[in-house]
Structure 1
Amino acid sequence: MDLFGGSTFRVLERGLDGAQLRQNAISQNIANVDTPYYKAKDVSFKETLQQAMNEPKLKAYRTNEKHLEFSSTSTGPVIETTRNTMYNHNQNNVDIDLEMAELAKNQIYYNALIDRMNGRFSSLQTVIRGGS
């Protein structure tokens, strides 16, 4: 039995990875709010998380090495640069109010994932201890 390789742990892990990457991008945006020509970055990981949730659980058995392997292709979170806006006279497009709101939203999302992960570990701990 694979306790930590289940789909719930995989989805939570990928969600945490995406939230951490988004935190880094938002931090860079805030740090460069006054940097001339800096373009804001954003992380798109909802599609990757959806792929992780829909990953097939069926493993194929190859009877010949010439048979194709079944594997999932996960590209991971994508960092995107927004180039079509400009908020400052120096062609910087970082909106500090938007970035602070995104930072708070990402922190709430990250904390929710951590709480869920802790709940899963608490359940495992209860099972290991025999329900007491």
Structure 2
Amino acid sequence: MNLLNGPEFSRLQGALNASELRQRVINNNIANVDTPKFKRSEVVFEELLEQSMSPGTPQLSGNRTDPRHIPIGPYAAVPQAQVVTDQTSVMRNDVNNVDIDREMSLLGKNQLNYNFYVQQISHDVKMMRIGIQGRS
């Protein structure tokens, strides 16, 4: 039985970690909005997660040498979030490509996503606690 180490919980944990990293990256972009030649960065996670869950992706599974062993997997490993720098676009004459309006909207969207992930993890843990204790 996979309680907190199942694939669903791992994906939620990966999304929460990506959201934390995205918060730091967006804050860095906002802090450097007036820095000449600064290039904005962004976090790529959702696309990597989608690719890892698509059919035909190699999946991890444990090797059972005895029929009494608990089966492990198969499920795709959760990818790590990656920071990508946008070197191609330009917003101003000083070659800076940070759009403050876009960054602020991404910040709000990320905050909503982060709150959702935290609520979902809290709900999952609460349901497990209720299942174990038999009461709410």
Change (3 A) 1:112 1:73: closer
Change (3 A) 1:123 1:43: same
Q: Which residue of 1 aligns with 2:2?
A: 2
Are the aligned partners of 2:61 and 2:75 in contact in 1 as well (CA < 8 Å)? no
Q: For residue 6 of structure 1, what is the amino acid of its counterpart?
A: G
Tell me how far apart the structure 1 counterparts of residues 127 and 112 of structure 2 sit (CA, whole Å): 23
Q: For residue 60 of structure 1, what is the amino acid of its counterpart?
A: N
The sequence identity of aligned pairs, in percent, is 34
Q: Which residue of 2 aligns with 1:60?
A: 63
Q: Which residue of 2 aligns with 1:18?
A: 18
Instruction: State the 1:86 CA deviation.
Output: 1.4
Change (3 A) 1:76 1:102: same
| 1:112 and 2:122 matched | no
Change (3 A) 1:14 1:53: farther
Return the TM-score normalized by structure 2: 0.79
Are the aligned partners of 1:45 and 1:78 in contact in 2 as well (CA < 8 Å)? yes
Cα-Cα RMSD? 2.5
**Unaligned runs of at least 5 residues, structure 2:** 66-73
Q: For residue 58 of structure 1, what is the amino acid of its counterpart?
A: S
What is the total number of aligned residue pairs between the two structures?
Answer: 125
**Unaligned runs of at least 5 residues, structure 1:** 63-69
Q: After superposition, what is the alpha-carbon deviation per residue over 1:48-79, rounded to whole angstroms, capped at 9, x for unaligned?
A: 333565674632347xxxxxxx9966652121
Are the aligned partners of 2:52 and 2:77 in contact in 1 as well (CA < 8 Å)? no
Tell me how far apart the structure 1 counterparts of residues 32 and 103 of structure 2 sit (CA, whole Å): 11
Return the TM-score normalized by structure 1: 0.81
